[in-house]
Amino acid sequence: MIYLDYAATTPMTDAAIDAYSSAAKELFGNTSSLHDAGGKAHLLLEHARSVIASKMGVNRDGIYFTGSGTEGNIIAILSLARAGKGKHIITSAAEHTSVHAAMNTLEREGFEITKLSFTENGLIDLEGLTEAIREDTVLISIQHVNSEIGSIQPVEQIANIAKLHGIPYHVDCVQSFCKLPIDAFSNNVDAITISAHKVGGPKGCGAIYLNPRKRIVPVFPGVTHEKGIRGGTVDTPAIIAMTVAVEQYEYNLEKYWSLRNNLKASIKSPAIEFIEAPSESQLPSICGLCMKGVEGQFVMLSLNEENICISTGSACDINSASGTKAIMAMGYDLTKARQFFRISFGVDTTKEQIGKLGAHLTKIAID
């Protein structure tokens, strides 16, 4: 099998699996229990919190472990928005489904949501963002890296704009964590979301950073775990496995640019188009493409018959009939959106695999 859907999920590393197994056997105590078994688990949980905080470049007191990136986005957005004094929020039209789910909930509560479009390069227009800010704007939520086309948003500039206007800023870093440095902006934002399974950790585990200096309203008042931010006994083995994966993860920028260029060179049909940002604003391991006259779903199924795994966009949008959000946000029509498919590289991706992929894509386009 040639697996080229790393943006959807990555295989757990051997070290993360070993750490999970060992912790599940030896650290089964509840971290909130006061006996020795609970104390031992709590000690390692807090070590994990420090490791994740250090990797983010933030205060460890603001780190809360969650069950996923989706849950993290929802908790962060609802907690910050409900703590504000206004009823207006700014986001983008191409955020992850979980962000839109949180926005839909807030909209039903009387909030007004402004969804910014992308430019033709797949980026947020900073002037448009500034113009969208109102006196009652209580939150900005704009991603770091788009999960469909891999465009890198100007989060440092967005953070500066938000800070200038005194508006909390939440950044979905699920696709960028451990791949791009986030400490350049992490101390200037009020919430960050990450996920374990994008970097070789287990599924069902993630974390959020919430600025300890900001007032927040817990989504579920009265719960006790994670300082009242997220209820339920924490999954200590998963958190420890996530920490091991984070400590060991390396993103080879040069390798992924080489693979991306190899893919472009191996495609021999003008019907196949890359949907991408300028190179300085592009994560090379996520490739968004369209094949003229062919739906992305057909491309995906055809490659699957050749034992090549790709996707038609975010796995969380697989049942959507409206096309991918990024394409639509860039101004393309629904026909173009339905032609979209995504290829994403990972640690085990080779030049030979990319060559086979390019050959099969060319064949589909010509046939």
Q: Which residues are the active-site residues?
A: 316
CA distance 58 to 361: 43
Cα Rg of the chain (Å, integer): 21
CA distance 11 to 17: 10
Tokens 């926005």 correspond to: 103
Contact 59, 53 (CB under 8 A): yes
Strands 112-116 and 191-195: unpaired
Contacts of 203 (CB under 8 A, 6+ apart): 9, 68, 196, 197
CA distance 267 to 282: 20
111, two tokens: 């909030």
CA distance 2 to 5: 9
CA 288 to centroid of chain Cα atoms: 16
Tokens 């205060």 correspond to: 59
CA 95 to centroid of chain Cα atoms: 9
238, two tokens: 């998963």
Burial class for 34, CB neighbours closer than 10 Å (0-12, 13-18, 19+): exposed
Phi, psi of 108 (to 5 degrees): -70, -20
CA distance 144 to 172: 6
